Structure 1
Amino acid sequence: MANIKSAKKRILVNETKAARNKAIKSKVKTAIKKVDAAVAQKDVEAAKTALKAAIVEITKAGSKGVYHKNTVSRKIARLSKSVNSIA
Structure 2
Amino acid sequence: MNKMTEKLIKDTDENRKAKFNMVTMIIGFAIMLMGALCLFIKSISVEYVDKQGFPHENFSLIPMDYLFALAGLIVIITGEIIYLHHKH
Q: Whole-Å Cα distance in 2 between the matches of residues 39 and 13 of structure 1?
A: 40
AA at the equivalent of 1:4: M
Instruction: Specify the SS of the correspondent of 1:40.
Output: helix
Q: Whole-Å Cα distance in 1 between the matches of residues 19 and 73 of structure 2?
A: 22
- What is residue 48 of structure 2 aligned with on the other side? none
- What is residue 8 of structure 2 aligned with on the other side? 8
- What is residue 60 of structure 1 aligned with on the other side? 78
- What is residue 63 of structure 2 aligned with on the other side? 45
Aligned residue pairs total 64
Instruction: Decide which structure has greater helix share.
Output: 1
> Which 4+ runs in 1 deviate beyond 2 A?
none
Cα–Cα, structure 1 residues 11 and 59, in superposed 2: closer, same or farther, change >3 Å?
closer
Instruction: Decide which structure has greater strand share.
Output: 2
Identity %: 9
AA at the equivalent of 2:21: N
AA at the equivalent of 1:62: E
Gaps of 5+ in 2: 43-60
Q: Whole-Å Cα distance in 1 between the matches of residues 68 and 80 of structure 2?
A: 18
Q: Once the two structures are superposed, what CA deviation does each residue of 1:55-74 show, in whole Å capped at 9, x if it has no partner? A: 321221232246xxxxxxxx
TM-score, with structure 2 as normaliser: 0.57
